[in-house]
Amino acid sequence: MPRLAGQQPEYLASQLQAFIDRRRTNPVMNNVAHVLDPEMVKALATYFKDLNPKPLGGGAKSLSSDGQKIYEEGVPSANIPPCASCHGTDGKGADAFPRLAGQLPDYVQRKLANWDKERGQKKDQPDNSSIMQPIAHDLTEAQVKAVAAYVSQLN
């Protein structure tokens, strides 16, 4: 389960809508999101933004320098752009680009590993998940672990 504290309101609202539309799949969230009206979505998204959580850690410290390199420089040999170019050098995201700073490493790893199964499930309703798709697809398991460890430690 993700940490929501400090998440960008536009991203949160877009994901709640994606659960409602079933463009993003998750049995629990598909049911929860369904009962929220647009006012509630907006209020929730704004509430979480104002929390600025300290990291809980959890990612292996030994991996974080490899993760930092991927985060800041990407993986040029695999054409993977720096995560920082979209998620911000501080990992706090902006607008439609989600915050990754302080996110739980297990969540980040699972989201990247399962991207194709969970996101962009309505081919006739393309969304921002297609921006991340090639990146999630091209990262190796070891790279995912390293970058997840790094972002989990970002304040």
Cβ-based nearer residue to ligand HEC, 125 or 155 = 125
Name the site residues for ligand HEC (rule: CB under 6 A). 2, 14, 70, 80-81, 83, 85-87, 96-98, 100, 108, 111-112, 119, 127-129, 131-132, 135, 139, 147
CA 11 to chain CA centroid, Å, is 9
Cβ-based nearer residue to ligand HEC, 19 or 97 = 97
Cβ-based nearer residue to ligand HEC, 101 or 112 = 112
Name the minimum Å distance from CB 40 to ligand HEC. 20
Name the minimum Å distance from CB 139 to ligand HEC. 6
